[in-house]
Structure 1
Amino acid sequence: MKTIKIAVLSVLCLTVLLAACAPAATSTGGKLGITVSILPQQYFVERIGGELVEVNVMVGPGMDPHTYEPTPAQMEMLAGSQLYFSIGVEFEDAWLAKFQDTNPDLLIIDSGAGIEKIPMSAESDHGEGEMDPHIWLSPANVRVLAQNIANALITADPQNRELYQKNLTGFLQDIDALDQEIHNTLDPLPNRKFITFHPAWGYFARDYDLEQIAIEVGGNEPSAAELADLINAAKTNDIHVIFAQPEFNAKTAETIAREINGQVILISPLAENWLEAMRSITQSFVGSLK
């Protein structure tokens, strides 16, 4: 298997790799072709690249990045990209090498370089030793993602450096404002624990001093004993809202909700408009943590 050309995004390494391997944006008005793994990345790249980039997404709406496989049409689409921004979701483990093999000139860039990952939340031993890939659900992490993306775009298309830098500055300001808004909204709430079907919210919980209780970890449904423990935890901690994702079956979440006389609220970590989605999700947490 060929070594995947994943750029570790220090300024020096990125500059050398892009200069050597990646074709620059055309000077005749053509857009820089970029492919990303998930929808939030499309938002990040378009916030920084604006009209100078054309972004394709592998995992579309309603798809699960844990089990996703690209279609032949998407593989053909990938051939028109100069850059691929990876982010560490599960399907990349199996597919990045194949993307590289079929597209030798494609530069695959780790947009999450420099982010320290945390262990997956686990109420059982299902996910022991597994690191949490959901790095984009933390505004602090997205600051790093945004800077890495901007570095790559500037190096691939230096003639538009000023625009990329200007767009980055505006995006970082929006991220900082969002972070403060979430703190102002969640910090006063007395309850700090929440239950979610899939443990996607570990970084969000870390950033805002919350405790995530996961129903499934590592793709495994809870046993009968674990389910009873979850119901007891919900009752003990006065939890009346169970979060689930539209990408997953919510049956177990609904079972717990019935037992605690609560409700299931669907929130997606994969929404395209990241900024608005994070605001909406924060309001969902308000209802859960009161």
Structure 2
Amino acid sequence: MSVKRFAWLLLPLILLVTAACSGETYEAPPADADVNVAVSILPQQYFVKKVGGDHVSVLVMAGPGVNPLTYEPPKGQFQALKAREIYFLMGIPPETAWLTDIQEAAPHIQRVDISQGVSKIDNDPHIWLAPRLVKIQAENIAQALMAADPAHEVDYRANLEAFQVELDRLDKEIRQVMTENGAEGKLFIVGHPAWGYFAADYGLEMVSIPEHATDAQLQELASLATRKGVETIFYQRGFDEESPAKLANMIGGRVVPLEPLNPNWEANLRSVALMLAKSVR
């Protein structure tokens, strides 16, 4: 084993010990792949692994059970970025708060914004929830990996092509679900407005409950829900759950969680599509 390879294998252990000594234990995933990267949220990990396959190791900043908007990464997690060559940015608000610490901990790391080329609606950051937009993000990921690891360009291109086919198939399946359930043009109500791109692509209308909604605002939404025959109010764990519950109670309906950060990205979108299609019939 070369000295360089041995040093890279030791680095995660060194970072773990350093973090523990500072009182902030963080166990980073191994940084022993051809390209070692970091991402902000779990769906990005799904995309990077689809394109990179076994050639990449991925560190996720806001992991399972974490609300990225309120998450404060420990110092040890920032230190673990020393062993990463690329940070794939998504263009979400927390990245701005983390940027200074990222630069201080890993000034060498290449920052690649995978939202480049995506046409955003009202600066909505939830671009990972529409397969059509994920195709653009996957292309950005592939370009960065090929530049960082040209020896495996053929693999990255093949993986990208296969992923694009999967995304087209998923898009077609979701459209079919909406058509079969007569969902086009129908309205759904959410506690957190994460599903705007999904709604726009599949002919739905998303209405979100205002942050810190007043009783008057909830009453207005209840009247809308009654007129439109809405019986299900969707919410996101880690965000305001009280207002969706109150609204559901006002209309005699139910609350159901939608999870935009589910790491099983493709299966999650299929499940969400079916839930929304059935709820707006």
Category of TM-score, reference length = shorter chain:
0.7 to 0.9
Alignment correspondent of 1:19: none
Structure 1 residue 118 displacement after superposition: 0.3
Alignment correspondent of 1:209: 203
Alignment correspondent of 1:25: none
1:182 and 2:185 correspond? no
Q: How large is the RMSD of aligned CA atoms in angstroms?
A: 1.3
Structure 1 residue 249 displacement after superposition: 3.6
Which of 85, 92, 98 is equivalent to 1:89? Answer: 92
| CA–CA separation in structure 2 for the residues paired with 1:65 and 1:227 | 27
1:268 and 2:259 correspond? yes
| CA–CA separation in structure 1 for the residues paired with 2:49 and 2:188 | 32
- Structure 1: 5+ residue stretches without partners: 1-28, 120-130
Which of 204, 217, 227 is equivalent to 1:236? Answer: 227
Alignment correspondent of 2:247: 256
Confirm or deny: 8 A CA contact 1:187 1:208 kept in the other structure. no
Q: 3-state SS of the aligned residue for 1:54?
A: strand
Alignment correspondent of 1:246: 237
Confirm or deny: 8 A CA contact 2:34 2:149 kept in the other structure. no
Which of 123, 134, 151 is equivalent to 2:126? Answer: 134
Structure 1 residue 192 displacement after superposition: 1.0
Confirm or deny: 8 A CA contact 1:87 1:111 kept in the other structure. yes
The 5 A counterparts of 1:163-202 are: 163-188=155-180, 189-190=182-183, 192-202=186-196
The 5 A counterparts of 1:1-290 are: 30-119=33-122, 131-188=123-180, 189-190=182-183, 192-216=186-210, 220-290=211-281
Confirm or deny: 8 A CA contact 1:137 1:201 kept in the other structure. yes
Structure 1 moving runs of 4+ over 3 Å: none
Q: In the alignment, residue 230 of structure 2 is paired with which amino acid?
A: I
Q: Deviations over 1:20-51 (max 9, x none)?
A: xxxxxxxxx74311000000000000011111
Q: In the alignment, residue 209 of structure 2 is paired with which amino acid?
A: I
More helix by proportion, 1 or 2?
Answer: 2
Q: 3-state SS of the aligned residue for 1:228?
A: helix
| CA–CA separation in structure 2 for the residues paired with 1:262 and 1:71 | 41
Confirm or deny: 8 A CA contact 2:237 2:257 kept in the other structure. yes
| CA–CA separation in structure 2 for the residues paired with 1:30 and 1:145 | 22
Q: 3-state SS of the aligned residue for 1:45?
A: helix
| CA–CA separation in structure 2 for the residues paired with 1:65 and 1:259 | 30
Q: In the alignment, residue 183 of structure 1 is paired with which amino acid?
A: R
Q: In the alignment, residue 136 of structure 2 is paired with which amino acid?
A: V
Q: Which has the larger radius of gyration?
A: 2
Structure 1 residue 287 displacement after superposition: 2.1
Identity %: 40
Structure 1 residue 242 displacement after superposition: 0.6
| CA–CA separation in structure 2 for the residues paired with 1:96 and 1:145 | 20
Structure 1 residue 284 displacement after superposition: 1.0
| CA–CA separation in structure 2 for the residues paired with 1:208 and 1:244 | 20
Q: 3-state SS of the aligned residue for 1:199?
A: coil
TM-score (normalised: structure 2): 0.85
- Structure 2: 5+ residue stretches without partners: 1-31
| CA–CA separation in structure 2 for the residues paired with 1:47 and 1:253 | 35
Q: 3-state SS of the aligned residue for 1:187?
A: helix
Q: 3-state SS of the aligned residue for 1:79?
A: helix
